[in-house]
Amino acid sequence: MPPKRRKHLGRRTAAASAARAARANETPEQTSFRLSQMASSSAARLSTESAATRTERLASAASTMSARRARLSVEERSLQNSQDAVRVARLRVSQSPAQKTLRRLLDATAKACYSGLESPEQTTSSRIRNTRATAASRASEQPLETPHRRLRNALSTASAIALESPAQTTVHRVTNTRSTASARALESPAQTTVLRIRNAHSTASVTALESPAQTTVRRVRNARSTVSARAAENT
């Protein structure tokens, strides 16, 4: 690496380290204020940004992140992932409901843009990598963490669905159906059996935590989802 480029990289790395250290020492009030400013600036930028500009920006960010990851060793990458997870958890705890909603919308937008840029091979590779990471995470969970995670995911999914338009819901379901079908096609019979058993256990544990009202709402929602899926199949 040329000396000038190495010097600039060292400055950026030092600045990033200083920023991480400053965030680690923040009070909840400071974190909330910083997140509010970030959310406001992001919303303002997205409202004036064209689709082409947004796609180009996300592609550039993905390329930069990939290059940074490639320079790290396995141990450094693992340590950075752990630090990032802790920082993200702290930030999410301090977020207001409005900030959480905005974060989810931004995440969904970014994910959709990334997916649109991926080739079929990259999509398959990404799904396999995500599946392995999820499996490793589940294996390290404590028994009490599992119900909390499922409840948190259910609440997150419910809030995201509540923000969807009917057209978005239909697109979302078709995308999920295709994703599930491609994942099933890659499974061996033994993996399919393990998946079904795990899903049955997961469904049973979630159902056991539901109130009668939640059970009724879930059944009605599932019935509507089935009807709309059947209608989409017939069109």
Q: For residue 80, what are its two tokens?
A: 């950075």
Residue 104 belongs to some domain of the structure: no
C-alpha 72 chain-centroid distance: 23
Helix extents (H) in the chain: 3-24, 28-48, 51-71, 74-93, 97-117, 120-139, 145-162, 166-186, 189-209, 212-234
Residue 233 belongs to some domain of the structure: yes
Question: What is the C-alpha end-to-end distance of the chain, expressed in Å?
Answer: 57
| Distance from C-alpha of 145 to C-alpha of 152, rounded to nearest angstrom | 10
- Per-residue pLDDT at 10: 63
Per-residue pLDDT for the chain (235 aa), expressed as one digit of tens each? Answer: 555 555 555 667 777 777 777 777 777 777 777 777 777 777 777 677 777 777 777 778 777 777 777 776 767 777 777 777 777 777 777 777 777 777 777 777 777 766 666 677 777 787 788 788 888 777 777 777 778 878 877 877 777 777 777 777 777 777 777 777 777 777 778 887 887 887 777 777 777 777 777 778 778 887 887 777 777 777 6
Residue 222 belongs to some domain of the structure: yes
C-alpha 164 chain-centroid distance: 17
- Per-residue pLDDT at 71: 72
Quote the number of domains for the chain: 1
Dihedral sign for Cα atoms in the order 230, 170, 165, 223: positive
- Per-residue pLDDT at 101: 75
Residue 116 belongs to some domain of the structure: no
Inter-CA distances, 215 with 148, 159, 208, 209, 220, Å? 18, 17, 10, 10, 9
Residue 219 belongs to some domain of the structure: yes
Residue 109 belongs to some domain of the structure: no
Compute φ and ψ for 164, nearest 5 degrees: -80, 145
Residue 88 belongs to some domain of the structure: no
C-alpha 112 chain-centroid distance: 11
- Per-residue pLDDT at 59: 77
Is residue 187 a contact partner of residue 135, using CB atoms and an 8 Å limit?
Answer: no
Is residue 229 a contact partner of residue 174, using CB atoms and an 8 Å limit?
Answer: no
How many other β-carbons are positioned within 10 Å of the β-carbon of residue 102?
Answer: 20
| Enclosing domain of residue 228 | 202-208+215-235
Residue 228 belongs to some domain of the structure: yes
